[in-house]
Chains A and B, each alone.
Chain A
């Protein structure tokens, strides 16, 4: 176990090292800090002096080591746009994204397990076929398009009038097809301050209503993936010898499905889930753009628009760190719960 732990940690450090080199290369090659610090009227000689003073003429390695040392203290310099330390800007925007990701994860867990298990237990039932059909449609709809459609239906409202309006039954049917809209679809609304930079949407019903559309959009892209994965793994597990043996022993099917089979189904789901966190972070950029959700994704996109290099670099490092920590944790948990994994070698 210790060897496995060390190997994983080494891997994590290697990845962080690569990310930091890439981030530094971006910072080094793009944007001129001198340009940002001084005005047009400052003569070249003073610029050169400042350049020397800031150590911008040092060799690449020296500059990289300085960057890495500062990064260890989460010091990434000042944002061009906000004029304050970038880490503070990121920390201010991070809670919004984390709350969105949390709400999405809850939705995914609530729906993917029952649906996935059901369609594995009854693969031929019409309901399973419907779930599978809907899930491939779900995979095919880009997350920002789901968001736009949800906004149109639930925030703006849709008026369909295919039936005659002047009759009672006609307007009733029209009412069924139409929606009033009115769901909030812009920003976070009123948030309740908790501690530090963390304000939450979970404290009030009004705050929760702002989470509904963004989290459903974000969940819509991951949910089909998890449903298909759980179904596939469960189908495989149900073919295995120990399930057949349990059946032969006369254990109730309910117990076999939910105690014996589900446990082993969830193992691969943990690993895939960990990897998917990366995808989820990428999709928050899209979701936050559509809903103007003031999280790190929107902040990152604005930073690109404004060529705010220090902020871009800070985002890369922080998101990279989150990826590396979650991936390492997932690997370790997987190693702990699955005794068949070869601890020193590659996970099976």
Chain B
């Protein structure tokens, strides 16, 4: 041992963990209780969704476990409830807590999947438009403008409707997860493309890019290895908000009947199926999944707000 152990943890810049521990990000996180609460709730919800098969008392996808006689039972604090079903049951006799856990899982999978697709498309197109400029730039940004002027939800609804009309309802519900990821991913890429393009335009004129070009690197290498890492913080910030948006979009599509089927519900389709029973007094079937959805989206949005303040990326307009 030649290096003193005391100095390595504070001065060594090579250790990522040490760098993280002394970062401004962690420092401001420790001082912001709203961010801590949001992060805790978010981790809790994600963990509950991932562990759904072990946490849930029944598997809502398994028809054999469903007892139709137990349908529309209220949650535990209302008279007439069954202690077996903590949050009551839905119209088909499924335990609401279990369906919510499974539903949150589906919603999160689609949310993250759609954002990954958006990021892939948006970052690639944004880099190409910003770095190459000229006709490529004009074409891609015009496409993004047109698509954005239609609003992302509108595009998603139209694409969903066309896919449903083409392949029919049965195929649509079988591959609903993939279709939803595709629809929401395709509908929202312009958000990423615009942000990335704006940052690339600012980075492109810097000296390190000139240096890389003089050294004879190819455009692809300069774009992905040199410019991309410097545009990561705005990407990171909008990703948070985009996940929240994707989850809302999925819920909206499911509510319109263009999303997850009732046999494999997401939070949105749970709300949809419960809505029909609102007038008959069974408010919990729709409002409890609704509350979970709101909390999930709210904590992600609040975390996004906090990240935006801390990382303070220059979210270029345009």
Contact = CB atoms under 8 A, between A and B. Distances in A.
Tell me if chain B binds chain A.
yes
A15 B149 contact: yes
B137 to A, nearest CB: 12
Contact of B279 (A142, A156, A279, A316): A156
A278 B293 CA distance: 25
Contacts of A144: 251-252, 255, 271
Given A285-B256, A323-B149, A140 B244 contact: yes
A309 B165 CA distance: 8
B153 A289 contact: no
A152 B256 contact: no
Contacts of A143: 252
A136 B149 contact: no
Given A145-B271, A152-B283, A278 B166 contact: no
B239 to A, nearest CB: 17
A31 B158 CA distance: 16
A304 B293 contact: no
A254 to B, nearest CB: 30
A149 B148 CA distance: 29
B111 interface: no
B32 to A, nearest CB: 15
Given A136-B302, A289-B255, A148 B290 contact: yes
B283 A281 contact: no
Interface in B134-151: 146, 148-151
A136 B165 contact: no
A28 B279 CA distance: 42
Contacts of B298: 136-137, 140
Contacts of A29: 166
Nearest to A281: B154
Contacts of A38: none
Chief secondary structure at chain A's binding surface: helix
Contacts of A145: 251, 271, 290, 293-294
A151 B278 contact: yes
Contact of A283 (B153, B297, B302): B153
Given A26-B162, A275-B148, A282 B287 contact: no
Given A30-B165, A145-B293, A305 B257 contact: yes
A143 B162 CA distance: 23
A178 B228 CA distance: 55
Interface in A261-300: 275-276, 278-279, 281-283, 285-286, 289-290
A307 B165 contact: yes
Nearest to B250: A142
Given A275-B149, A282-B151, A142 B248 contact: yes
Interface in A212-248: none
B256 A316 contact: no
A312 interface: yes
Chief secondary structure at chain B's binding surface: helix
A275 to B, nearest CB: 6
A304 B258 contact: yes
A30 B252 CA distance: 25
A204 to B, nearest CB: 25
Interface string B149-176: 1110110011001101110000000000
A139 interface: yes
B290 A149 contact: yes
Nearest to A141: B294
Given A141-B294, A279-B151, A305-B257, A148 B278 contact: yes
B252 A281 contact: no
B157 A285 contact: yes
B165 A281 contact: no
Contacts of B151: 276, 278-279, 281-282
A151 B281 CA distance: 12
A18 interface: yes
A152 B294 contact: no
Nearest to B245: A139
Interface in A17-40: 18, 26, 29-31
A301 interface: yes
A120 B248 CA distance: 29
Interface string B110-145: 000000000000000000000000000000000000
A290 to B, nearest CB: 7
A79 interface: no
B305 interface: yes
B29 interface: no
A314 interface: no
A115 to B, nearest CB: 18
Interface in B274-312: 275, 278-279, 281, 283, 286-287, 290, 293-294, 297-298, 301-302, 305
A278 B278 contact: no
Given A140-B301, A289-B256, A323-B149, A312 B157 contact: no
Contacts of B150: 278, 320, 323
A327 B154 contact: no
A-B pairs, 8 with minimum CB distance: A282-B154, A278-B151, A279-B151, A140-B298, A282-B153, A140-B297, A304-B161, A282-B151
Given A149-B287, A290-B275, 4 more contacts: A30-B165, A136-B302, A286-B255, A286-B256
30 contacts: A26-B165, A30-B165, A30-B166, A136-B298, A136-B305, A140-B294, A141-B297, A142-B248, A142-B255, A142-B297, A143-B252, A144-B251, A144-B252, A144-B255, A148-B271, A151-B278, A156-B279, A275-B149, A276-B151, A278-B149, A278-B151, A279-B151, A282-B151, A282-B154, A283-B153, A286-B255, A289-B255, A309-B165, A316-B158, A323-B150
